[in-house]
Chains A and B, each alone.
Chain A
Amino acid sequence: GESVGLHLPTLSVQEGDNSIINCAYSNSASDYFIWYKQESGKGPQFIIDIRSNMDKRQGQRVTVLLNKTVKHLSLQIAATQPGDSAVYFCAENIGGGADGLTFGKGTHLIIQP
């Protein structure tokens, strides 16, 4: 089975609202987690990453939260914009880098005008 999964296949939010995308992982040994954004016809685009020695990391309009106790990862996007519409994947591996990343199925974020 998959090591990483997502709770919702589709999430619809109003433009300007905040959105939260959740992810659960099952491999306790994973120590590196990444969120990717994938627009139609394009490859995954790196958004933000976090290592297991951190609980929270902030970027520009995005925040990733990691709860190792319950093996849960979330991506918060502030003040969503039409350009945020895409499929969002969480991914994990041991050690970082690009090898052996395990991806979830993805959440399709739809921004309503």
Chain B
Amino acid sequence: DAGVTQSPTHLIKTRGQQVTLRCSPKSGHDTVSWYQQALGQGPQFIFQYYEEEERQRGNFPDRFSGHQFPNYSSELNVNALLLGDSALYLCASSLDVSMNTEAFFGQGTRLTVV
């Protein structure tokens, strides 16, 4: 049973570009949350998707957007990249928001903006 998988594992982009990161949740999970982790810091909550809708959002600008597909997989899009967007982007999945179950994290995508 595959856990949470993210792609790509590493990515280098130029300032001003746009990037799309992908996440497949753990089998049976229907809720996906995205986090940004700067070097030496704890993860920061970006947003959560459930039933293909953004359910909750952290303190991130509109340049950060997302999508959830019918198969529960998710994408994180970041427009107009800034140097400060360089970080490890983590996806976490869990089962059914209402059940408040344990969250499993993927290995992350390391984004470097130059």
Contacts and interface: CB of A to CB of B under 8 A. Distances in A.
Interface residues of A, number: 26
A73 B93 CA distance: 24
B102 A49 contact: yes
Contact of B94 (A98, A100, A102): A98
B90 interface: yes
Contacts of A98: 31, 33, 48, 92-94, 103
B100 A46 contact: no
Candidate in A34, A101, A105 with the most chain B CB atoms within 10 angstroms: A101
A25 interface: no
A93 to B, nearest CB: 9
Interface in B90-108: 90, 92-94, 97, 99-108
A89 interface: yes
Given A32-B100, A97-B94, A99-B33, A44 B44 contact: no
B62 to A, nearest CB: 18
A15 B33 CA distance: 36
Interface residues of B, number: 29
Given A44-B43, A95-B100, A100 B56 contact: yes
Nearest to B43: A103
B28 interface: no
Nearest to A102: B45
Nearest to B42: A103
Contact of B103 (A46, A105, A106): A46
Contact of A44 (B31, B55, B105): B105
A43 B88 CA distance: 9
10 contacts: A32-B100, A34-B102, A34-B103, A36-B105, A46-B102, A46-B103, A97-B97, A97-B99, A99-B97, A100-B48
